Every structure is written in structure tokens, then in C-alpha cells.
Structure 1
């Protein structure tokens, strides 16, 4: 009786918490195609102004990779009304913070200000969209910045080449085969006309969503949005028709040498569906089941119990057209990589053939409930979720209902999805090795 009462109380608490977490918003389109989402939260005097453009590393032509990431930097250079190098000074001197990030599928810019500086945030983003100054000096400056970032984060960082290695081995035709940051030879070969044409194609209102979240007055904000963004001309429609990949049907094994490491890594890489597909949600749950936390299956077995691995992880790397699923381990001492591969494969095979326990299933559900609540716990997080859900998933309301997808996943479905995508004949085995030292 006590157990039943506890379960009922837990359920009621969970429902009350999630109802309290429901995000209210209003969305509409301007005549130029800019989608606008407003979320009012007067609990603190702050406001986030953000713009997500539907352009990322995959949006390029052969020989011109890395443009979206370059623009992440370039569009802070200055505008018709903002002097070169003054952007961050304007933001910080008015009590704000800002940043930007780029993936293979989108670029996201945002500012967080005291709410009395809402208009400043709108002006900054409208300037970025309408009046960017793109000249040879700025392009040259930011290419050098990107080259230094590539050296720091990829070329000279231990295991920094893992993502590029995944991409080049899981894709042959799709632009995901190339790294988001691009190849330096492509950026160095780019002309000013190439860069300007890229801006005119992708950084237009009809390829963007504007999200304003925080301590705002809805009616006043709508007026400001119209004033600052309404006059921006609509761009040409952006069309995408990337080549489809041929399914992987035969296991391959590749080797990559990284001069920055001393400990090798063994990895199993699978090409999986884009993040909008229901199966992608199930794969999220499988990765959490396998390696999230010290009680997860791979960690407890290979790190704690058998002392074979220093580290082990399973990751569903989300992308719009195809995702990448990667399971990897670092060996303890002289543990052979083949042993790590065998042990990881054994746990993946169990997920494919036997339903996970009811206890593990409930733990998974609890983790995703917590993740859902935490993602909507700040205005900044809400702004990002609203932009992503509209732009990439085509459904803004996912911010309130995505948890229902995870709740509806069954134990049998977890087994079925693992069996569908995580088979040995559908993967690439990656031996990620220290660079061989030349013999004397």
C-alpha cells in the first residue's frame, strides 16, 4: 500500500512540475518571411534576443567548405553603423553578454541584456542582418582567427580529429563528410565575391527565426520588431538537394593516427537517421542507457568491474539529414583494442536482442524528465529551444511536448531500433592511434 501511495504521489508531483514548466509563446511571420517567436517571463529583468539562421557547415559547394563557421566570426566584424571591433564593447558596456555557435545545420547568434536594453539587442541583430560590412580586410582577419581555432581545437588537441574522422568515414556523398570548420585551403581560396554571395543567399530574413524571450511587453516588442526587421528585404528562397547516401551494408575497419595522443581509442561508428525521426529519440535513450553515469552498462562493466577501460562512451550525434552514432573506449594499460571492441559489441548486442529491465527503463525515463525540465529552466535556454524547434524540427510546440515522445518509447521499441541501426554490418570500426614514431 505504501509503495502504491508513493508511486501515485510521485506521478502527481511530476505532472504538476511539468505543467508548471509549460512554456507560453506567440509566433508570427513578418512580410519579408522572418519568423518571430516571443516568450514573456517577467520573473527577472533580463531579456534574450536571438537569431538562428538555417545555414551550417553542410551548406557549401565543393572547394568552399567552412563558410558558415567563418560567418559566425565575420558577422561580428562590424556593420554600416557599428565600427569594426566595437560590437563586443557595445554589448559589455550596456550590461550584456553575447555569443554565437555553428553546427553542420544552423548558426545561432544571441545577446542577453537587462530588459531595459531590449531595443539595443534588436538593433544589433537587425544591423547584422541588414548592414554587415564584408570587405577583404575583415575576411582576411577572420580567416586567420578560424585557422588559429582549427589549430587549437582540432589539429593540436588530443582526440581533436575524432569528429572529422567520423564524418569522412560515414559519408561519401553528403556534405557531412567534411568538417564543419572546413578546410583551410578552401577558405584561403575563397574570393570576396564568394563570401558576399554566401551572405546574400543565406543570411536573409526568410531563412531565419528571431526569438525574444524574457521580461518584455508583447505589444511593445511587436512594434519594435516591425521597426527594426520589417524593412529588411526578403531574400531568394533557399533550396537544398543534397545527395543521398548508399546504406552501409558491410563492416569496414579504418585507422587514424593522431600525433597529440599517447593512449589509443577504439570506436564503433554507425550512420543513423536525422534528429527529426522518432528513431533518433530512441537512439538518444540507448546512448544514455549504455554510458550515462557510473551505473550505466558500459561504464560499470568496462571501467568499474573489468578494469579494461579508462573511459567509455556512447553518443548519438544529432544532425538534420543523418546523425552519427559513436561508441568508443580508451584502454587501461595494454588492453588490446580488439578486447574493447568485443566488450562494447557484447553490450550493444544485448540491447538489440533482449528488452532492458523495467528498473533500467524507469531510470531512463527519470533522466529524460530531468533533462527536459532543466532545458527550460532559464530564459536563455528557452530562447534556444524555441529557435531550434521551429527552425530545424518544424514544430515550435516541441518545447512543451517533446518529453511525450520519450515517455511513449517502449522497452520493445528500444530493442527494435537498436536492431535496426546498430548491427555489425552497418558500422565502421575506428582504430584511433598515436602517431607511429620513426624507428632509429
Structure 2
């Protein structure tokens, strides 16, 4: 069944057939304005294979110029990537196959750089499958486009689109010679000159951070050379200031909604970083402190954002090289204890919080075996103990005993049946 959105775009697409090229540009501008509303509203990508096939037929019959088609498809891919939606319909469509062939042909002819860039952006942003054998086309082309340093609005938008397309290649094996120096230069230049938009800068990190699980050599680059943790904290703080967290989602402006989407994209990178990186520095406390502030600001009207903050604390708590004092100083333990008061037995995050306290308790026991800084360690344990006691943490976790049994029976989750293992004792 067709959605209202598709019916609206069907009408606009049919209208293109009756217009000359200049009039088509105006209609496409109108279609682009509506993309935001469609993308922000849906949790799925609404454009179908049939819709793309119809556009391909119009191109074949010269009822739609390739230039105008590309202009719309670039914006469509931009919206899809902004919301992190999945799309398989473009790959299967005649239009997707046409653009792939054009991209290969244009690369072989080496005739027009802008057209090749446009084709790569459309194909990578809208497609689900990217043939690895074409990485030597995609990556250099998109990196070159993303490296432009002009700061006018159009140039910044072009760089955004190129970086969004490039981030689609995060899970593909590629030699570091193909991308590393260029993406580092893009990030370092922005850190000095602030030439990228918030979205472009977040996206420039995605290719690096999401490759940590296969490229361990990136740890030193990401943590100590490019300072991911510090930069993520600063960006989330800046974006949070642009959002009125007292508003409900329906009350928010389009720019506020976009800011929230970019914050959500940072969370994806932060979680990938926590799960894949074993190298840490003191900047972690600053990031967690910022997430604590955000969790409290978003708690009432944006529970999904609040929960993402708290989930990140849980991911940090799993790391052996994150000290309990780091979580204490940042306020992360306080934030989780506050949220624990709101939980019900069926709450989706119960498992995460059980892990969080289990890891804190285990880490405290491990720290006892280390004789260095004994006074500081005892002070930290005393503070955590007092906080947990004040919030009635033992009674709450005890009430989750049935959940623990359920999790252990249905999943290999590593929880303990011993309730005392979830508390820090002095």
C-alpha cells in the first residue's frame, strides 16, 4: 500500500514530465524541501524500487535530465543518511544499475570530475550494497570532494554530502593508504579552522571510529592524536545548547530536530568507541560529565536521548581500564542511581544497569589487590558505598532478582546470582 508521502512524490514526479528543464529545477527544489519532513517523520525509507524505476524511465525517455535527477537523488541520500535509515530498493532498481554503470564508465573516461563525484555520492548514499572492487573509485573521489576548504554555505553542504556518503564504507576492508592521511587532514584542519558543519564533522569521524574493530592501529590516532573523546564531548555540548529540552518532539523546530539527530549519530560513534577501543586518557571524565548533564536535561521529554546517555555509561563501565573514580568524578554513577529509582521490573534497561553495578563491584575488588594509592581507593569506595546506600540500591537490585534468573536462563549474559556481587562494600 502506498503511503501518503509516496503518493505526494508520485504526483510531483509525474508533474516533472510535463515541464521543461528550468521548471523541473523549481519542482525539485520543492521536493527537496519536503524530504526533511518525510525523513524526520518516518523510521523507514519510504521510496520504493518502482518509484526509482519510474524515474529511470523518465531519464531514458529524456523527460528528466540527469543533472536534475542527480540534484534530487543527492538530497534524498542526504536525508536518508541523516536519519541512518536502510534502503535496499535503490540497488534493485533500474536507476541504481544505471548510475553504477555510469560511475564506472565516467571513471574509465576520466572526463568530468564533478559528474563522477555526484554519481559516487548518489550511489553510495542510496545503495545498500557497495561492491568492494569499486573502493578505488569511491574513496579517492569522495575524499577529494570532502577535502575542499571553502567555507561558504554551498561548499559546506557539498562537503557534508561527500562525508555522509563516505561514512557508508565504514565496514569495508581497505588499506590505510587509501583513506587515513586524507581523513586525518580533514579532521585536523577543522580542529584548527572550524570550517565544517556539525554534521560534517561528526561524519568525518565515523569512518575512523567504526573501523577500530578491524584496524587496531587506529587507537593511538583516534585517542591521542585526534582526541576523539574531547571532540565528541565538545560537539555534544554545543549541539545540546541549540535544543530546548523542555519542548516535546512535536514542539521542536526543524533545526532542533536536526541537532538531536546529530547527537544521536555521535552516540553511535561513542558506543563503537567504547566497545572497540582499549586505549584511554583523562578526557573520558569530561565526556561522561557532559553526558550526565544531557541525561538530566532530556529525562522528562526525550527519554530516548536520556537512555542513550545512560547506556554509554554502561559501555564505559565494562572497560577494565576505566576506573571507578572516573565514573564517580563525572557524575555517571549518580546519574545511573537517579535513573534506577524510575525503573520498573519490565524496564528495557534493567540488564544494562545490572551489568553496570556488577562491573563497578568487580572493579573495586580488583583494585583492592593493587597496593598503590590505597587511601584514594578507599575514599572512592566509601563514596560509592554511601551513594548506593542513600538511594536504596540494594533493595532495588534485590527486587530484580527474578529478572536476573530470567536473563541467565535465556541468555549467556554473565550476570551473577549472588546479589552481594552487585554492591561495593567497605
Q: Which has the higher contact order (CA 8 A, sep 6+)?
A: 1
Scaled to the shorter chain, the TM-score interval is under 0.3
Could you say which structure has the higher strand fraction? Answer: 1
Could you say which structure has the higher helix fraction? Answer: 2
TM-score, L = length of structure 1? 0.24
TM-score, L = length of structure 2? 0.25
